[in-house]
Structure 1
Amino acid sequence: MRLLIECTYVYDHPGDNSGIQRVVRNIVNNLHAVKTDVPCIPVILKNDKVYGVSNLGPSKSSISNLQSWLSHQHGRLSRLRHRVWQYKSRRERRWPYQNSPLLRFFLSVFCRSFSLALALPQKVLAQISLRYVDKARASEMEYRPGDVLVLLDSSWHADFFPLAERLKAEGVDIVSVIYDLIPLTHPQFCDDGLVRVFEHWFDWIARTADGFIAISKTISDQVRQEAQWRLGRDVAAERWFDYFHLGSELDLINEKAVVRHEVRSMFKGRSVYLMVSTVEPRKNHVYLLNAFDKLWAEGVDVSLCIVGKIGWKCEKLIERIRQHKELNRHLFMFNDLSDRELEYCYRNARSLVFPSYVEGFGLPLVEAMQRGLPVMASDIPVFREIGDDAMAYFGLSEPESLCRLVRRFESTGQFPSAAPFTDWSWLSWKDSANQLIERVVQHTRQSRSEAGPVVASHAAVGRP
């Protein structure tokens, strides 16, 4: 048995550093330290072939740099198309469009035409950039019956489904890592295109995978229920379900990097509450701003800093922040912090505040607490799983619930959690990688012992 750890998206986009990319990179970079007798090989699936990855980071070759540049342009076009629809959403609520169906129709036609005009070069760039494989970073390899393909990366946008099905038909087990089911359970928080793509992907992976390993017990239970609903209880019982927890180190910290003056100065003489996440509806920044507006109206001397890139369906919120009278006085927003600057914020803030409606895990919570920063979070099951009694929880029905925690912390100096947060501890990325590999191996061996030996038509399949 060998574990083939799929990391295609991160290989193609080595500069991306959001939640899933951070997980994939850290798991892959810690595979060498995993305590197992089973070889663990990072792989990518491209051009209907399997490639073993020797370097997940960016390449220094000129051709690879060109590929990265083309991939970056592909991403820019994607973001530009997204901004076109943000512009439409913004404009149609204002004069003269809001009172004129005809003007809104012409605005919609213009935006749709512009978006379609961008779609063609975006597809061409995808074909050119995403099919290229840098031989200095990856080389074609054979796969064998008995191997296990672990889909660690975000595969719902991938085009390797036929290859994965061929591997399965030839004796390779498939295990899917599930980060969350939010596009299925809470589609109102997602882009319509993502909901359709994710629905199609989960239907495929539910039928194809031999096992599922989620990033929390909360999500694992949801995956089991969703599989039972789609496949029936008897068919779902043929799959295995488990979970592992994520690590917490910030792996891209450059200790020599400079923390900007505006970041440092924000903390001088201020009690700063920190929110770290992409700005999008399910993260519930509106609730957070409402709570701090209430505190500021009462004269409570606290500050709020929002850290994270701007996402989707948040035009009104961003406009509200940029026009806020407390901006750069008690309200701050940074959309481009480096890991070094984020680390500085974790070390100097008063508390992390995280009012999310729904999460698969909540990586900023463990990043914060590992650095001695206490956390106030919405009272949802996955946060209870992570924080137990070491976090302070607030309800989402009214901002006053969070306001009470902040007032108490500011007036007493005692963090309002049920248990001391200093007693809390968490996994490293090395521990997380060990946990993932150990559970995949254990379930695979158990499943195979119950089912009998692997049968396939070829002793080794792949490059001749």
Structure 2
Amino acid sequence: MRAWIADAPAGLRVEPVRADADGFALARAWTARQLGLPRTPAPDAPALPRAGDTYFMPDLDHAGVVAKRDLYRAMRRDGVRVAFMVHDLLPVTRPEFFPPHAARSHAEWLAVVAEADIAACPTQAVAEDLKAWVRAHGPERAESLHIVASHHGADLRAAPAARGLDRESLRLLARLSGARAFLMVGTVEPRKGHADAVDAFERLWAAGGSEILVIAGRPGWMVESLVARLRGHPERNRRLFYVETATDDLVDQLYVTCGCLIMASHAEGFGLPLVEAAARGCSVIARDIPVFREVAGERACYFEGGGDALAQAVDRWRRLDRRGEAPRPRRSGILTWAQSARNLGRLLTEER
């Protein structure tokens, strides 16, 4: 959104809006803050979409979107193009990784999305999942819903300095400097594969390995026992570091300091750490799933299976790295957020 505000797609004016009880309002206060303006130039007046406008909802809001279903229908009847971002379909395709209510909430939200003009997905893999869902649950919309894919971006700025980090973060970076450290980034939740990673490193440590595993991510849902395992692990703050409240600056430094990112997720919609790591020159070991193949291509080492398989992948990567043969990220193929925003803007506004 900030990229669109700074550089709107050709021929368009971008107006951020927020939901309210009557429909939508121009989010001028929010926009002013994004632009660094000292005050709001005008109050948040009602937003009145007109024929030829495009309404785009980039965020996931199950209840809010379902509640406005009739409004979206009315907007489309009035000639407004309605579009949604579908980050993934995991609550309905992999419900075992989510709380019991998630599948129903996501299905109700998808039913509204299926009535829109456009659905934008972060990968072609998600786009194919969405096409399959619409064919199964809303076949009358299968031809009229335009489904597009546009990859996310990552800022390719130089690695930030460590200034501004707290003392504990600086101590962690000092401990990792010169060590063979592996990093996981993202909320700790069942599908992310953290348990497999801990199992893998316990095997490596039992065999005499000195590798360090760093997990940066707040606790999510259905992971109480896993979080207790991380917090109470005998190797914590020795060969296992669990950072529950990592700042963006610390994560940036961890990408630079650690030799390799581990993406052990069983399912993803995109996998943003893959491109963030590549932007920092950090190698990747990833589970062999279609989304990761699409995003990382041949720039990663892949594994299939649980802790044993991941331990073998780490050992294999380590041997390749010593010989200078480990896959290395190529920054040239990574989109910036500005480029990603331009691609998405073009897909949302082009004529079919």
Match of 1:221 in 2: 128
Of 374, 380, 386, 2:289 maps to 380
Distance in 2 between residues matched to 1:342 and 1:274, nearest whole Å? 10
Aligned equivalents of 2:23, 2:175: Cα separation in 1: 50
Whole-Å separation in 1 of the counterparts to 2:244 and 2:173? 16
**2:150 equivalent to 1:244:** yes
Which residue in 2 is equivalent to 1:177? 85
Return the match for 1:141 from 47, 52, 57.
47
SS at match of 2:120: strand
Partner of 2:224: 315
Given the superposition, is the C-alpha separation of residues 295 and 226 from structure 1 closer, same or farther in structure 2, using an over 3 Å criterion?
same
**Deviations 1:34-70, CA, capped at 9 Å, x for gaps:** 441122222222122322223537969xxxxxxxxxx
Query: Which residue in 1 is equivalent to 2:303?
Result: 394
8 Å Cα contact 1:390/1:424 also seen in 2:
no
Of residues 138, 150, 170 in structure 2, which corresponds to 1:261? 170
CA shift in 2, pair 1:310/1:231, >3 Å: same
- 1:211 — aligned with what? 118
Q: Bigger radius of gyration, 1 or 2?
A: 1
* 1:177-203 Cα distance to aligned partner (Å, 9 max, x none): 110000110011011222221121112
Equivalent in the alignment of 2:24: 50
Q: Supply the distance in 1 between the matched residues of 2:238 and 2:43 (Cα, whole angstroms).
A: 47
* Matched ranges for 1:410-429 at <5 A: 410-411=318-319, 412-414=321-323, 417=326, 420-422=328-330, 425-429=333-337
SS of residue paired to 2:63: coil
The range that moved more, 169-178 or 239-248, is 169-178
Matched, 1:436 2:325: no
Identify the residue that residue 109 of structure 2 maps to in structure 1: 201
1:299 aligns with 2:273: no
Are the counterparts in 2 of residues 34 and 433 from structure 1 also a CA contact under 8 Å? no
Offset, 1:165: 2.8
The superposition leaves residues 398-423 of structure 1 with CA deviations (integer Å, 9 ceiling, x where unpaired) of: 32322223223334524665x54346
1:6-17 residue pairs with structure 2 within 5 A?
A: none
Aligned partner of 2:61 in structure 1 is 155
- 2:14 aligned partner: 40
Are the equivalent residues in 2 in contact too, given 1:52–1:140 (CA < 8 A)? yes
Change (3 A) 1:351 1:424: farther
For 2:122, the aligned partner's letter is I
Does 2:166 align with 1:192?
no
Q: State whether residues 196 and 310 of structure 2, in contact with CA within 8 Å, keep that contact through their aligned partners in structure 1.
A: no
Q: Retained in 2: the 8 A contact 1:351–1:374?
A: yes
Over 3 Å counting, the alpha-carbon distance change for 1:369 and 1:354 in structure 2 is same
Distance 1:218 1:398 in 2: 23
In terms of fraction of residues, the more helix-rich structure is: 1
2:73 aligned partner: 165
Structure 2's unaligned 5+ residue stretches are: 35-39
**In 1, Cα distance between the equivalents of 2:56 and 2:154?**
21
1:57–1:150 Cα change, 3 Å: closer
Give the aligned partner of residue 97 of structure 1. none
Q: CA deviation at 1:255?
A: 7.1
Pick closer, same or farther for the CA change 1:414–1:245 going to 2, 3 Å. Answer: farther
Q: 1:136: Cα distance to partner?
A: 6.0
Choose 46-55 or 272-281, whichever is displaced more.
46-55
Is 2:113–2:119's contact at 8 Å kept on the other side of the alignment?
no
Cα deviation, 1:52-103, whole Å, max 9, x if unaligned, reads 223537969xxxxxxxxxxxxxxxxxxxxxxxxxxxxxxxxxxxxxxxxxxx
Q: CA deviation at 1:258?
A: 2.2
2:96 match: secondary structure? helix
- Where 1:40 maps in the other structure, the secondary structure is coil
Task: Tell me: CA distance 1:165–1:250, structure 2 relative to 1, closer, same or farther (3 Å).
Answer: farther
Deviates more, 1:423-432 or 1:372-381: 423-432
Q: Which of 256, 261, 268 is matched with 1:359 structurally?
A: 268
Q: Which residue of 1 aligns with 2:37?
A: none
Asked if 1 retains the 8 angstrom alpha-carbon contact of 2:83 and 2:118, the reply is yes
TM-score, L = length of structure 2: 0.89
Please state whether the residue corresponding to 1:56 is helix, strand or coil: helix
The 8 Å contact of residues 121 and 148 in structure 2, kept in 1 or not, is answered as yes
Percent identity over paired residues? 27
In 2, the alpha carbon distance for the partners of 1:268 and 1:235 equals 54
1:174 deviates by 0.9
The match for 2:194 among 285, 308, 311 is 285
Q: Which amino acid aligns with 1:243?
A: A
Q: Retained in 2: the 8 A contact 1:278–1:309? A: yes
Tell me how far apart the structure 2 counterparts of residues 378 and 401 of structure 1 sit (CA, whole Å): 10
8 Å contact from structure 1 (residues 379, 393) kept in 2: yes
Distance in 2 of aligned mates of 1:394 and 1:172: 46
Instruction: Judge conservation of contact 1:189–1:282 (CA < 8 Å) in 2.
Output: yes
1:68-107 equivalent positions in 2, closer than 5 A? none
Pairwise CA distance, 1:321:
1.5
Q: CA deviation at 1:373?
A: 0.5
Partner Cα distance (2:162, 2:276) in 1: 17
Pick from 227, 249, 260 the counterpart of residue 340 of structure 1.
Answer: 249
Amino acid across the alignment from 1:210: D
Unaligned 5+ residue runs, structure 1?
A: 1-26, 61-133, 447-464
